[in-house]
Amino acid sequence: MRWIHHDSLITCDHDGRVANRASQQWLTVEGVPVLVATDPEGRDITACPNYGPTIKPCAKTLQVTVGYSTWLRVDGHRIVLSHLDGLTDGTPPGLVHHTARDPRQSFLEADA
């Protein structure tokens, strides 16, 4: 699994893009801040094409269920890894996920 950083591509199941924000700046991969728990949660999702009269497009990420390292930490916060998976607020509720599509770095790997 690869480390996830600010420039990594995280999307909803419909290909809407998650707006990454790194809460720490001093640990970087190729000059880009690494994401840590809970950076991928509560983030805006843009351009989700899943919409309609009774359909709510994905607008926010919810809690991450998988994807935080069990032993790698920065200031006590677990590193985000490329097996990231969590839900969004889109329809159908409880079934639409956000995942790391492309880590956009090939330098650092780690086991969960």
Report pLDDT digits (tens) over 27-36.
999 999 999 9
- Domain assignment present for residue 111? The answer is no
| pTM of the entire predicted model | 0.95
Which residues 6+ apart lie within 8 Å of 78 measured at CB? 36, 37, 68, 69, 70, 72
In a domain, 70, yes or no: yes
Number of domains in the chain: 1
Residues of the domain holding 79: 9-102
Spacing of C-alpha 50 from chain mean position: 19
Residue 107 belongs to some domain of the structure = no
Establish if 53 belongs to a structural domain.
yes
Q: Look at residue 1 and tell me if it is in a domain.
A: no
Measured between alpha carbons, how far is 93 from 5 in angstroms, rounded to an integer?
28
Is 108 a member of any domain?
A: no
- Please check whether residue 2 lies inside any domain of the structure: no
pLDDT digits (tens, 9 = 90+) for 60-94: 999 999 999 999 999 999 999 999 999 999 999 99
